[in-house]
Amino acid sequence: MPTPAPARPGTGLPSRFDDLLVQAARHEPPVTAVAHPCDHTAIAAAVDAAAAHLIDPVLVGPKDRIQKAAAEAGADISPFRLIDAPHSEAAAAAAVTLVRSGEATMLMKGSLHTDELIHAVLDPAAGLRTGRRLSHVYLMDVRSYHKLLFITDAAINIAPGLADKRDILQNAVDLSRVLGVTRPKVAVLSAVETVNPAIPSTLDAAALCKMADRGQITGALVDGPLAFDNAISREAAQDKHIVSEVAGDPDILLVPDLEAGNMLAKQLTFLAGARAAGLVLGARVPIILTSRADNERARLASCAIAVLLARARASGAAA
């Protein structure tokens, strides 16, 4: 079981990820294919998650490099299955094959590039694609905000169009519902809070709101366009005479593009001391993404939310 988390910096409060870690560790850990864990950070992430009873890792990659990384990290990998693959591309393909064959129920990124793993997942022969576009979600514990905050997409879709944003939004909504948010509130972000034809993201925001009204997006309350200040702050929204059930209380922030999302998430992490867990959605299985900048608790949280989503899908409780 995971050990108690340290207080969030500057608050004296425990991490809001704690409950998720406890819930995820209650049952048998799912077999997880870890693609190319060939540096000390990647191998430590897998070993730590196994020690926390979150995953049962299968390590896939060059055997000698994995063993060297484990030695550098002081990690004992003897209890785990190790599948030799000559390089990162082969490791990604082999990890995906484990999922396709049913030998693993989740994927975890090691030290390879994200696009190498995603390319293997999207291979039509892999059988992991669904009708949804793949997207990335950050689940963030921001000490100045009153609840966990989802930010999407900050890692996969560079310049998503309207149809892409619909999938990105729905993926995040489905995850938030699995994690206990009954009717998530979604703020569709732009630079301004009014529809302006010169700013395409405001047109997408307006269309997404109407799509939610018409049932093309389900399970959430969607509002936008909203600038970041009046999305997060009810007072800022009131100052601009914005009447909104979402303003000041969003669960999900849908960003205009990858650049905006990536900068927002990293600003919250490095300037505001937030913890961030990351997951790729839209495939048949959850895909755990961790970063070298993540601390141990954030990496464990990424595994925990993947476990909870996989378990919900297996029980038929997730979309």
- Parallel/antiparallel/unpaired status of strands 81-84 and 106-109: unpaired
Cβ-contact 165, 197 below 8 angstroms = no
Rounded average pLDDT over 297-317: 90
Least confident range from 83-92, 98-107, 123-132, 309-318: namely: 309-318
Give the model's confidence band at 7: pLDDT under 50 very low, under 70 low, under 90 confident, else very high. very low
**Per-residue pLDDT tens over the stretch 81-95:** 999 999 999 999 999
d(CA 139, CA 231) in angstroms, rounded, equals 17
Rounded average pLDDT over 53-72: 96
- pLDDT, residue 82, reads 97
- pLDDT, residue 291, reads 72
Task: Judge whether residue 10 has pLDDT over 60.
Answer: no
Give the contacts of 180 (CB within 8 A, at least 6 positions apart). none
Give the contacts of 245 (CB within 8 A, at least 6 positions apart). 185, 221, 223
Which domains, from first to last, does the chain contain?
25-129 (3.40.718.10), 132-282 (3.40.718.10)
Closest CA to 94 of 117, 111, 114: 117
Task: Judge whether residue 11 has pLDDT over 90.
Answer: no
- pLDDT, residue 318, reads 54
**Per-residue pLDDT tens over the stretch 14-60:** 578 999 999 999 999 999 999 999 999 999 999 999 999 999 999 99
- pLDDT, residue 55, reads 97
Cβ-contact 79, 59 below 8 angstroms = no
Task: Judge whether residue 132 has pLDDT over 70.
Answer: yes
Task: Judge whether residue 181 has pLDDT over 60.
Answer: yes
d(CA 164, CA 156) in angstroms, rounded, equals 11
Least confident range from 122-126, 147-151, 278-282: namely: 122-126
Phi-psi bin for 272: left (phi > 0), alpha (psi -120 to 50), beta?
A: alpha
**Per-residue pLDDT tens over the stretch 188-220:** 999 999 999 999 999 999 999 999 999 999 999
Average pLDDT, rounded, for the chain: 92
